[in-house]
Chain A
Amino acid sequence: MELHDVWFVLIAFLWTGYFFLEGFDFGIGVLTKLLARDRKERRVLINTIGPVWDGNEVWLLSAGGATFAAFPEWYATLFSGFYLPLLIILFCLIVRGVAFEYRHKRDEDRWQTNWEHAIFWCSLIPAFLWGVAFGNIVRGVKINAEMEYVGNVADLLNPYALLGGLVTLTLFTFHGAVFAALKTVGDIRGRARALATKLGLFTAVLALGFLGWTQADKGDTASLVAMIVAVVALVAAIGTNLAGREGWSFAFSGVTIVAAVAMLFLTLFPNVMPSSLNEAWSLTVTNASSTPYTLKIMTWCAGIAAPLVMLYQGWTYWVFRKRIGTQHIADAH
């Protein structure tokens, strides 16, 4: 295994981390309108991710930075090619981050309502668009011999990618509902569980369609295994949720995300961004990567930093392990 292969795995790992962690953050954001019945319940939901969402978001920045360093050509083609969708995602991430921090800083009803709309839409839209983006990456887009994206925005809105977007949206929302059930007490916990079941079934249908399509198009044995793991884990997540085992259910919904992302990256390898115009113009781990020297330095950095990050982020989850309910939310704000 050469270093650029290692980095392919590490970037897959960073994206997986991002979708696992920010997945339930997005889900919680969407649930503020689907699950919460009043402001206090919305605040309970927001506060379940309060201490951690900021750290979770850094997984995206790491994935972006690592792609820049390890596969500059991939970084350049991807972000200049997916210009407008990425612009929308960045817009949403900015507004959403500010919304979490500023919503409670004034007591006026309109102020708070506006930020709550922002949290909902700016969670929903990126959750959908990430799926569209990855759908297009896997499917292949119009890349010319100079590694430039030559398609337009409409090309990105094809049925396969749109289905991918629906899958990430519903999967993240399901993941968020399971997380909500795990992190709350009282009435909202029961409703979160009930909603999770419904969302889970809905997700299962869409995910089976999308992953099956991927498998039929690009799959091999390894991706088939990943697909089976993803589907089984999703069923297990729904089952354990029904049985009231919230911790297990969250672990399984997490495995679903991990396996689904793994499947996408497995079908991608050794390409990083296939060209739909000409197989030979595809960006691969070899022609898109940095020099072995840069990759070596990056490997040292990631080898030391990544376990440490997981350790202290894990500790954060331990510090805030207690469930919260409406009684823990002060009346003001």
Chain B
Amino acid sequence: MDLALAPETLARWQFGITTVYHFLFVPLTISLAALTAGLQTAWVRTNKEKYLKATKFWGKLFLINIAMGVVTGIVQEFQFGMNWSDYSRFVGDIFGAPLAFEALIAFFFESTFIGLWIFGWDKLPKKIHLACIWMVSIGTVLSAYFILAANSWMQHPVGYRINEERGRAELTDFWRVLSQDTAVTQFFHTITAAFLVGGAFMVGIAAYHLARRKHVPVMRTSLRLGLVTVIAAGLLTAVSGDFLGKVMFKQQPMKMAAAEALWDGEAPAPFSLFAYGDVDKGHNEVALEIPGILSFLANGDFDSYVPGINDINKMEQEKYGPGDYRPNIPVAYWGFRWMIGFGMASFALGVLGLWLTRKKFLLPAALRTGEDEVPNLVLFRRKALSPRFARWYWITALWTMTFPLIATSWGWIFTEMGRQPWVVYGVLRTKDAVSPGVSQGEVLTSMIVFTLLYAVLAVIEVKLLVKYVKLGPPELTEADLNPPTKIGGDDRDADRPMAFSY
């Protein structure tokens, strides 16, 4: 059969497409839930209207986004059984448990309380309604944990033994699956990256409005919140990424060697800035490197030995039998670079943004901006930017919001493709994981269906987001400012239209 259309290839493409698509919404959902909850908390505590307006504005964008995250997540769960039934048979005893935990503990939580939050504005007292969005936020984070614990087991299987008789892996220590260092570091790295996505999203949209001098109090608050989030999350993402890198060097040396296009082991090992190589011959033709840095990333010192792709391939051939154990090296190499590059660029722009929008400090009185004004974008101590330059800065901020999304998508592609040809590293090969009973036509059909559906939905979603972004925060009504005091709503409202309806 033509390899390009082999069920394994198609199933992998389908998994890649549906996962990356799903993962566009997940980080934004995780971070926007928490940021919206934070804004609503600020409203409950201070009673300032700008916080309520901000809550409603970001809450609406959050809902448009989470709707897509939820429905595309359903596909993820069933795809294992549909396209990867031999995988499911082999690892179900282990892999199924965190998935079931996710549904029973996290997803129920999230989905139930989201309904309460959306429809609860006129049915729940202020503080209980606030608690609901926090519950949603907790649910999204828990969800991420269970899913990443399951994925980490594929990256680095622990707490299991192979049952030869039944031909499958069996769980021996569930706690190890949940608590192993891969799971913990992947979790922190993914969550912090999620906040980078959400922070940049907020910055970009706030910048859009501020450039037009609209909705200033709400957007000013959002801009600062977004910038602080980007910077804090950016720092933590880098730190957790370093930890994760070190864990990977130990557990998946091949993945990291591929990420660096390091063909042959070196001591000290350099960090590659740019490389162009010949995969078949196994060497780089062009390489621009900084000496010693890779040794540091791998082991925390500047001169230790790091094994290369060719060495590891040989080692794995001795261990697992003949075969090619190299992942797609250009994808790993460039994926790693896009991830780090776009992540760092977001962080740098966040720092610049926070410095440019300073309110009071280090500025002469004439250049300070008040609470309700568009920030001056002061570049130097005594000089504000000209309006034309200021506009360019706002536009830059708007485009920056896509950077972390590019970074997280590539991060995901890197981590998943870097593990090939293994689906469970060192235990089960991807080609042994597909559904033997499912035909090429079936996988092709479902791939076309999902890809087309996702493409159509992407257009719809982006159009809706743009519409509601442009609309800006809503005007508050009497009902918004006087939330009910009783659960189920006050009797005075018996025949009043619902605060929110589909």
Chain B residues lying within 8 Å of A55, measured Cβ to Cβ, are: 108, 111-112, 115
Cβ-closest chain B residue relative to A52:
B115
Q: Do A66 and B100 form a contact, CB below 8 Å, given A50-B119, A76-B92, A150-B437? A: yes
Chain B residues near A95: list those with CB within 8 A.
Answer: 453
Asked if B501 contacts A50 (CB within 8 A), the reply is: yes
A51: contacting residue among B70, B94, B118, B467, CB under 8 A: B118
Q: Is B279 an interface residue (CB 8 A)?
A: no
Please determine whether B453 and A69 come into contact, CB atoms closer than 8 angstroms.
Answer: no
Which of A62, A106, A312, A327 is in CB contact (< 8 Å) with B103?
A62
Asked if A69 and B75 make an inter-chain contact with CB atoms under 8 angstroms apart, the answer reads no
Instruction: Please name all residues of chain B whose beta carbon is closer than 8 Å to the beta carbon of A297 when the two chains form the complex.
Output: 97, 171, 174
Q: Which chain B positions have C-beta within 8 A of A146?
A: 436
Query: Which residue of chain B lies nearest to A152 when distances are taken between CB atoms in the complex?
Result: B439
Q: Of the candidates A150, A290, A329, which one forms a contact with B93 in the assembled complex, judged by CB atoms under 8 Å apart? A: A290
- The reply on A321 being an interface residue by CB < 8 A is yes
Q: Does A61 contact B (CB under 8 A)?
A: yes
Q: Are A75 and B88 in contact (CB under 8 A)?
A: yes
By beta carbon, the residue of chain B nearest A149 is: B437
Known A-B contacts A76-B86, A102-B67, A324-B498; the reply to A94 vs B453 at CB < 8 A is yes
Flag whether B101 is at the interface (Cβ < 8 A).
yes
Q: Which residues of A contact B111 (CB under 8 A)?
A: 54-55, 57-58
* Nearest chain B residue, comparing its CB with the CB of A329: B501
Residue numbers in A under 8 Å from B104 (CB-CB): 62, 65-66, 301-302, 305-306, 309
Interface residues on B, range: 35 or more
A158 at the interface (CB under 8 A from B): no
A73 nearest CB neighbor, chain B only:
B89
Q: Which of A61, A318, A327 contacts B107 (CB 8 A)?
A: A61
Q: State in angstroms the CA–CA spacing of A298 and B103 once bound together.
A: 12
CB pair B446–A83 under 8 Å, yes or no, is yes
Let me know if A330 and B171 touch, CB within 8 A: no
B105 — which chain A residues lie within 8 A by C-beta?
Answer: 301, 305
A72 CB within 8 Å of chain B: yes
Q: A46-B502, A105-B468 are in contact. Are A301 and B70 (CB under 8 A)?
A: no
- Cβ-based interface call for A165 (8 A): no
**Contact flag A321-B100 (CB < 8 Å), given A76-B92, A77-B85, A79-B78:** no
A-contact 0/1 string along B320-363, CB 8 Å cutoff: 00000000000000000000000000000000000000000000
Judge whether A218 is part of the interface by a CB distance below 8 angstroms.
no
List residues of chain B with CB within 8 A of the CB of A130: none
- Determine the distance from Cα of A312 to Cα of B111 in the docked complex, in whole angstroms: 11
Does B495 lie at the interface of the complex (its beta carbon under 8 Å from any beta carbon of A)?
A: yes
Chain B residue nearest to A88 in the complex (CB): B449
Interface contact B82-A83, CB-CB below 8 Å: yes
Contacts of A9 in B (CB 8 A): none
Does B114 have its Cβ within 8 Å of any Cβ on chain A? Answer: yes
Residues of B near A333 (CB, < 8 A) are 501-502
* Residue pair A93, B502 in contact (C-beta under 8 Å): no
Residues of chain B within 8 A of A139, CB atoms compared = none
Q: Is the CB of A313 within 8 A of B100?
A: no
Which chain A residue lies CB-closest to B175? A297
Q: Which residues of B contact A290 (CB under 8 A)?
A: 92-93, 96, 170-171
A284 to B75, CA, bound (A): 26
Encode contact with A along B359-398: 1 for CB under 8 Å, 0 otherwise.
Answer: 0000000000000000000000000000000000000000
A contact residues around B460 at 8 Å (CB) = 98, 102
**Contact residues in B for A81 (Cβ distance below 8 Å):** 437
Closest chain-A Cβ to B19's Cβ sits at a distance in Å of: 15
Partner of A69, one of B74, B100, B119, B170: B100
Partner of B82, one of A79, A309, A322: A79
B445: A residues at CB distance < 8 A = 84, 87
Contact yes or no, B501 A68, CB < 8 A: no
Task: Map CB proximity to B onto A235-275 as digits: 1 under 8 Å, 0 otherwise.
Answer: 00000000000000000000000000000000000000000
Most buried by B among A83, A312, A318: A83
Q: Are B488 and A319 in contact, with the CB atoms below 8 A?
A: yes
Asked whether A2 is an interface residue with its Cβ less than 8 Å from the other chain, the reply is no
A98 to B63 CA separation, bound complex (whole angstroms): 11
Instruction: Judge whether A198 is part of the interface by a CB distance below 8 angstroms.
Output: no
Q: Which of A82-136 contact B (CB under 8 A)?
A: 83-84, 86-87, 90-91, 93-95, 97-98, 100-106
Q: Which residue of the partner chain B has the closest CB to A143?
A: B437
B 98-141 to A, binary, CB cutoff 8 A, 1 in contact else 0: 01111111011101111110111001100000000000000000
Query: A46-B502, A95-B453 known; A68 and B67 CB under 8 Å?
Result: no
Query: A72 and B502 in contact (CB under 8 A), knowing A87-B445, A94-B71, A98-B457?
Result: no
Q: Which residues in B have their C-beta under 8 angstroms from that of A301? A: 97, 100-101, 104-105
Which residues of chain B come closer than 8 Å to A65, judged between CB atoms?
A: 77, 96, 99-104
Asked whether A191 is an interface residue with its Cβ less than 8 Å from the other chain, the reply is no
25 of the cross-chain contacts (CB-CB < 8 Å) are A50-B501, A54-B112, A57-B74, A62-B104, A64-B78, A65-B77, A68-B80, A68-B95, A68-B99, A76-B85, A76-B89, A78-B81, A79-B78, A79-B85, A87-B449, A94-B71, A101-B502, A102-B464, A105-B64, A149-B437, A294-B96, A294-B171, A298-B100, A305-B105, A312-B113
Q: Beyond the given A72-B96, A105-B467, could you list 10 further A-B residue pairs with CB under 8 A, ordered by the A residue number? A: A54-B112, A61-B107, A65-B96, A68-B77, A68-B99, A75-B80, A87-B449, A102-B64, A294-B96, A305-B108
